[in-house]
Amino acid sequence: MSKSYFDETHCAIGHPKSTFMQWMLTIDHKRIGLMYAAVMFTFFFVAVSTAFLMRLELLAPGSQYIDGDTFNQAFTLHGVIMIFLFIIPGVPAVLGNIVMPLMIGAKDVSFPRLNWFTFWLYITGTIVALASLFTDAGFADTGWTFYAPYSINTSTNVIFTLVAAFILGMASILTGLNFLVTIHRLRAPGMTFWKMPLFVWGIYATAWIQLLATPVVGITLVLAIMEKYFGIGIFDPAKGGDPVLFEHLFWIYSHPAVYLMILPAFGIMSEIIPVFSRREIFGYRAIALSSASIAGIGYLVWGHHLYTSGMADTAKVIFSFLTFFVAIPTGIKFYDWVATMYKGKIILSTPMLWALGTIITFTIGGLTGVTIAMIGVDIHLQDTYYTVAHFHYAMLGGVVFLFFAGLHYWFPLVSGKMYNETQAKIAFYLQFVGFNLLWFPMFIAGYYGMPRRYFDYLPEFQIYHQVSFVGAVIFITGLTYMFVVFFKGWRSGEPSGTNPWNATTLEWHMPSSPPPLENHSKVPYVDFNPYEYHHGEPVVKFDYETMKRID
Amino acid sequence: MSHEYVPEIAVDREGNEHEVQGWQDDFYGGKLGFWLFMFTEVLMFGAMFMVLAYYNTLHPQDFLDASASLNRLLGGTNTVILLVSALTMGLGLLKMRVGDVKGAKLMIVATIILATAFLVIKGFEWNAEYKHGVFLLHDKLLVGTPDSLPFGQKLFFGMYFTMTGLHGFHIMIGIGLMIWLLKRINAGKVSQDHHILFWNIALYWDIVHLIWVFVFPYYYMIGADGIQMSDFSMIFGGATNGH
């Protein structure tokens, strides 16, 4: 059997003999992506547990298991882990790293050593973030947004979290930079921008946001540290500063950041839909350009987080108007996906199920987002469970669902094995039902005025919290089961072969499964579109030894 | 990594050969990556300039007063030093590209000396300001003490110490990078044919001096109007606040 990337690797320093050190020092993009996945999903489960703790506390009004201060720390921990440790690096660091170079026919990313360094920078960030859990002052209780002046005045260890967010931001910038150069420089000969798979387009748009928005939040966090520990006064009203300025600077990054999360996820959707419909994607250029325009417009909408902050009315109207604009390219994408499926030969494998589920959940998440982009409605719904539900429908029901879709889709590529499809589908249905049961009642509770981040509530809201709790139990069951299915597939799955889905993009044209160390045996010449199907069969065929076309 | 990198050849269906760009030996990729990284620096300082401009519009007179009390002789000297250092760094790169390794090394050493001089002068400046009670968490920049400055001036100095401090930090990193560059040149890793590291560090140094070119006028020059020439004779007369 030929050697795969599990058997051999290039290292950043020297040629270590031990397998452990080979993994620690590896510069192979596939191994680095796998390590990201391992770390990220560990933290993901920590954050899920924190969320479940909050659900448990909210099962009945009044204090059950934890006090209010602990609850504040719990939602901060949940937010910080989910946002900074999981979902922002998420799809690019894991699937972007593993799949993107394969898709463009490159041997690795442009700066493999920088990639290695970035991974360890990320690890450093996670350690700093969680270190404060074990200090006397305890974890930050500010929420993941660190709003001034509370973050300036609280006695909890905000500095750890701020420094960690800065380091993780650096890691994010470097990942984006690496991918930008890779996509510009290392595409296989013949592959123009219009021949790139749409996942690569998603990663490309994301990389620009990572590069152009993250420095702003980086410096904002530095300024917040300067404010808290050196009293420079710019965010503290007691010293002449303006706390709303912090909100502006924070959201200038953090709103584009949600597009940074969703764009690569949309890229996954654009891969899965044509493959499992056995049809060329409808509106390739429209989808590619809508990614770019979401990235562009997403930059100009941050003010919709500040409707209740006392911002000028003119600014509110402009921000509201611009926010509606984001819905247009997003809508274009969804119509294109649906149009791709029209008259297609739809195969309901697990990745496709996840993608279809996401079309439902993200549509709810997206449209509720449009409602709270309206100023009048938002004044009523700001900081209620409605916003929380919208956010989770878009992020969990959009980004994470598609992330899971991508995991199912590329699992055979990465491991060379196949998970049990039936069991994976059961896991999907459990999570889909649990998810909707968990979050949908929150729309109603929020509409009736249940405020977010409260650890107590009026008895009339109890029914919604109880339904949510049941949903949470089902969802977490499905989630755990899904990872059990993955684990079993990894340990004892059937060998999948190089192209189990009959897909067309380059990452499925490997000489062996799992792929060898330096990817394709030869770099192919790309003179075809990414999704060419004819009568439900892939058009382009390769001799995997010479990478010459044989169709 | 001693063996020569040979790019792969991809063949299309007509049999034409196309050279494949690998990640090894990618001069333009290296340059592109570093330009993008420099862009993030511009954004970082850009955000701080935005904060500065915002408070300037809220407290225009305080900003002028605070700026007037800065020491323009030291700041101006530092500006000249940094501009000259950008020249020496650029000349070093030019010398390396024509193969004059010794001259290039000399220019890098000159840049390091100038950068150190910048930091020393900056140190004197901060020291004088400290002695006048203008420093973070100190005397005049505290709230509610008898001689605390008005809000606008406090904000000005808060940002002044943050931005010049962060800029000074970049200078220190630059010195470290240049020392590393000298070691790489001595080890033969950076040469006439393979000078991407030199190129990028020169680019870094350019950004560092470019940021200063914006920092200097915004902090030192906006309040320069109405300053007597005799003030320039007081070398350590910075940060006095006679208003």
CATH number at residue A48: 1.20.210.10
Q: For residue B137, is it within any domain?
A: yes
Find, in chain B, the residue whose alpha carbon is nearest to that of A549: B13
pTM of the model: 0.94
Q: pLDDT tens for residues B106-131?
A: 999 999 999 999 999 999 999 999 99
Decide if B151 and A239 are in contact by the 8 Å CB cutoff: yes
How would residue B242 be classed by pLDDT, with cut points 50, 70 and 90? Answer: very low
**What is the average pLDDT value for chain A, to the nearest integer?**
94
In this prediction, residue B234 has a pLDDT band, given cuts at 50, 70 and 90, of very low
Asked if the model's pLDDT at residue B230 lies above 70, the reply is: no
Q: Has residue A27 been placed in a domain? A: no
Which residue out of A179, A230, A542, A547 would a mutagenesis test of the B interface target, given it has the greatest number of B Cβ atoms within 10 Å? A230
A102 touches chain B (CB under 8 A): no
Quote the pLDDT of residue A1.
Answer: 52
CB B155 within 8 A of CB A234: yes
Rounded to a whole number of angstroms, the distance from the CA of B229 to the nearest CA of chain A is: 31
To the nearest whole Å, the CA of A162 is away from the closest chain B CA by 16
Task: Please indicate whether, in this complex, the C-beta atoms of A219 and B36 are within 8 angstroms of each other.
Answer: no
**Residue B4 per-residue DSSP state:** P
Contact B44 A111 (CB under 8 A): no
What pLDDT is attached to residue A369? 94
Tell me whether A523 touches chain B (CB under 8 Å). Answer: yes
In a domain, B100, yes or no: yes
Q: How many domains does one find in chain B?
A: 1
Q: Which of A93, A410, A428, A363 is nearest to A268 (CA)?
A: A410
Q: Examine the pLDDT at B236 and tell me if it is beyond 80.
A: no
Spatial contact of A414 and A30, defined as CB atoms under 8 Å apart: yes
Mean pLDDT, range A449-466, rounded to an integer = 95
The Cα–Cα gap between B97 and B93 comes to 6
Taking an 8 Å cut-off on Cβ atoms, the answer to whether B166 and A222 are in contact is yes
* Residue A528 near chain B (CB below 8 Å): no
Is position A423 within any domain? yes
Query: Do A231 and B13 count as a contact with CB atoms less than 8 A apart?
Result: no
| B159 part of contact set with chain A, CB < 8 Å | yes
Domain annotation covers residue B237:
no
The alpha carbon of residue B19 is apart from the nearest alpha carbon of chain A, in Å, by: 7
- Taking only residues 161 to 190 of chain A, the set having a beta carbon closer than 8 angstroms to any beta carbon of chain B reads 173, 177-178, 180-182, 184-186, 188-190
Stretch A210-225: mean pLDDT, rounded? Answer: 94
Q: Which of A195, A211, A232, A550 to mutate against chain B (most B CBs within 10 Å)?
A: A232
Q: Which of B40, B50, B140 to mutate to test binding with chain A, by most A CBs within 10 Å of its CB?
A: B40
Query: In which domain, by residue range, is A373 found?
Result: 36-549
CA nearest neighbour of B12 among A193, A524, A505, A194: A524
Would you say residue A54 has pLDDT above 60? Answer: yes
Contact A172, A217 (CB under 8 A): no
Does B28 touch chain A if contact means CB atoms closer than 8 Å?
yes
Residue A516 has pLDDT above 70, yes or no: yes
From chain A, the residues in CB contact with B45 under 8 A are: 219
User: At B110, which CATH number?
Assistant: 1.20.120.80
Find the range with the poorest average confidence among A84-93, A501-510, B138-147, B183-192: B138-147
Checking if the pLDDT of A144 tops 70, the result is yes
| B30 domain-assigned | yes
Q: Which domain holds residue B171?
A: 24-229
Q: Which residues of B touch A220 (CB under 8 A)?
A: 47
Q: Considering only CB atoms, which chain A residues are within 8 Å of B48? A: 219, 223
Residue B227 predicted with pLDDT over 80: no
A200 vs A202: CA distance, rounded Å: 5
Determine contact, residues B51/A235, Cβ cutoff 8 Å: no
Tell me whether residue A17 is in a domain. no
Side chain identity at residue A505, one-letter code: T
Note whether B51 contacts A234, CB cutoff 8 Å. yes
Write the CB contacts of A355 (distance below 8 Å, at least 6 apart in sequence): A268, A269, A272, A273, A276, A402, A405
Of A300 and B236, the one with more pLDDT: A300
Evaluate whether residue A85 is within a structural domain: yes
> DSSP letter string over A44-90?
HHHHHHHHHHHHHHTTSSS-SSS-HHHHHHHHHHHHHIIIIIIITTH
At residue A413, what are phi and psi to the nearest 5 degrees? -65, -45
* Distance from the B51 Cα atom to the nearest Cα atom in chain A, whole angstroms: 8
Domain count, chain A: 1
- In the structure, what pLDDT confidence band is assigned to residue B139 with cuts at 50, 70 and 90? confident
- For residue B5, is it within any domain? no
Closest listed residue to residue A101, CA positions, set A36, A187, A25: A187
Report the pLDDT averaged over residues A484-504: 95
Closest Cα in chain A to B143 = A239
The answer to whether B93 and B182 have CB atoms below 8 angstroms apart is: no
Are the beta carbons of B32 and A181 separated by less than 8 Å?
yes
The pLDDT, as a whole number, for residue A496 is 92
| ipTM value > 0.85 | yes
List of chain A residues whose C-beta atoms are within 8 Å of the C-beta of residue B54: 242, 245
Chains A–B, number of C-beta pairs less than 8 Å apart: 141
Produce one character per residue of A468-500: b if its CB has 16 or more CB atoms within 10 Å, e if not: bbebbebbbebbebbeebbeebeeebeebebbb
